[in-house]
């Protein structure tokens, strides 16, 4: 009996020792799911540690984007806006709005709500008449449809069966319903009903960076995961007549547009079958100091009403350097002009302030400014449009990487809070075209 007890004690000791070895070795290779570590068998830890030590970062495998078919030239928008809202008599306010549009750096914006739709829903064209039901009906129907259009483009580029999509992460600030746009999109695309869905509401303009972070965590902690990563936004929830007492809403009316972007994210790309575009090496989020009320949105009977402080560009430029410094440590702390920049095109003034604060060369913000010029501010979808523009510019200019020749870069989103979210990406080498 004594020998049997001694044997059991010895077994328990070695099991505990093996468990400790697992913990020590795994901690050495990076942050992991501790619950998962606790569940590891002491008799199989070698294979698990080997697998985890060979862990690969999440990778962007494809990008798709979509807009509604109707584009409004920015130069013509003041006339359209004041006409459809019945405010042409407000001549001073219209002149102010025209100046904002002229200085916005925007050529055109895309909208689902055409003149016909707005005139058939006149309560949307007032300043604060009850109109939430109408806006919700449009958003619930059209947000997933626009997302599906972008998703089809991403899936076609990816080239793999839709049955291999294991997760859906969907962010929107446009409408709220149960079940959400994630389920509707799953059905529209014919995805597996067992797909794991995550629905994110009301991130606002940093939503594109948020879904990137969530997709990274899912891809890296679920072997074989392929994450359909979605942002879809419509201005139907915010469109309203201009008002002299709400000038910050005037700015929003001059810059926001509709758009959807979809990424497919996964770790360990299948050789020859998948074409990685960027690796995601780090993600982080921070709330800027003394920024309460800088960017707010409140859902009311009149829809989603935005409030923007005038000093938003200054708040961002003064307070973002610490998180940028933290982020680039992953890349060995290169200088700002040695990395690529995919910044949310929140407005021309914000981009000017960030560029000035970091002393960036003009070309560093070109992808962002081009998206602002061609589409306006599409809230959370915008920064993913910039990422797509970045890789396409790299090909057009025959650069050595998908990051315009740079190895490392940042994806930067900012929005309500005032929240700043950053991801560190590593560009993928691309073949250079030979000189003609």
Alpha carbon distance 358, 336 (integer Å): 7
Query: What are the C-alpha distances in Å from 304 to residues 170, 246, 279, 297, 410?
Result: 19, 14, 35, 6, 30
Which of 176, 122, 181 has its CA nearest to residue 300?
A: 176
Show Cβ contacts of residue 102 under 8 Å, excluding neighbours closer than 6 positions: 74, 75
Structure tokens at 221: 């902690």
Q: Is 342 a catalytic residue?
A: no
DSSP secondary-structure letter at 206?
G
Q: Identify any residues that bridge with 414 across adjacent strands, giving them in sequence order.
A: 420
Alpha carbon distance 320, 323 (integer Å): 6
Contact 160, 224 (CB under 8 A): no
Among 101, 205, 236, 342, the active-site one is: 205
Spell out where 8-139 has E strands: 58-66, 71-73, 108-110
Q: Is the previous residue joined to 132 through a cis bond, with omega within 30 degrees of 0?
A: no
Alpha carbon distance 210, 230 (integer Å): 10
End-to-end CA distance of the chain: 86
Which residues participate in catalysis according to the annotation? Answer: 205
């Amino acid at each position: 009996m004594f020998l049997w007890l001694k044997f059991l004690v010895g077994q328990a000791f070695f099991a505990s020792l093996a468990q400790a070895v697992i913990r020590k070795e795994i901690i050495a290779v990076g942050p992991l799911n501790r619950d998962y570590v606790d569940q590891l068998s002491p008799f199989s830890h070698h294979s698990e540690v080997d697998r985890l030590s060979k862990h690969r970062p999440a990778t962007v495998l494809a990008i798709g984007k979509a807009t509604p078919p109707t584009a409004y030239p920015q130069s013509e928008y003041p006339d359209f806006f004041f006409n459809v809202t019945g405010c042409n008599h407000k001549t001073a306010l219209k002149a102010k709005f025209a100046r904002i549009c002229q200085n916005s750096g925007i050529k055109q914006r895309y909208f689902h709500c055409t003149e016909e739709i707005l005139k058939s829903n006149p309560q949307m064209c007032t300043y604060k008449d009850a109109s939430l039901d109408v806006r919700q009906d449009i958003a619930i129907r059209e947000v997933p449809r626009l997302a599906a259009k972008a998703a089809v483009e991403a899936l076609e580029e990816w080239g793999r069966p839709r049955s291999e999509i294991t997760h859906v992460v969907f962010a929107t600030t446009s409408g709220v319903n149960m079940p959400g746009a994630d389920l509707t999109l799953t059905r529209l695309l014919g995805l597996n009903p067992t797909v794991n869905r995550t629905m994110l509401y009301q991130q606002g303009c940093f939503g594109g960076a948020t879904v990137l972070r969530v997709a990274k965590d899912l891809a890296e902690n679920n072997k074989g995961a392929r994450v359909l990563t979605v942002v879809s936004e419509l201005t139907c929830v915010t469109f309203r007549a201009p008002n002299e007492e709400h000038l910050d809403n005037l700015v929003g009316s001059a810059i926001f547009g509709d758009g959807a972007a979809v990424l497919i994210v996964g770790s360990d790309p299948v050789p020859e079958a998948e074409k990685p575009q960027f690796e995601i090496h780090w993600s982080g989020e921070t709330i800027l100091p003394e920024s309460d009320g800088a960017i707010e949105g409140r859902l009311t009977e009149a829809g989603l009403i935005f409030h923007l402080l005038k000093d938003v560009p200054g708040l961002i430029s003064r307070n973002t350097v610490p998180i940028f410094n933290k982020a680039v440590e992953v890349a060995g702390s290169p200088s700002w002009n040695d990395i690529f920049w995919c910044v949310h095109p929140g407005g021309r003034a914000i981009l000017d302030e960030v560029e000035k604060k970091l002393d960036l060369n003009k070309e560093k913000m070109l992808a962002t400014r081009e998206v602002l010029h061609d589409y306006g501010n599409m809230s959370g979808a915008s920064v993913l449009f910039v990422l797509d523009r970045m890789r396409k510019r790299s090909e057009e200019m025959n650069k050595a990487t998908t990051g315009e020749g740079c190895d490392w870069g940042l994806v930067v989103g900012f929005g309500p809070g005032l929240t700043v979210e950053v991801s560190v990406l590593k560009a993928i080498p691309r073949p250079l075209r030979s000189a003609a």
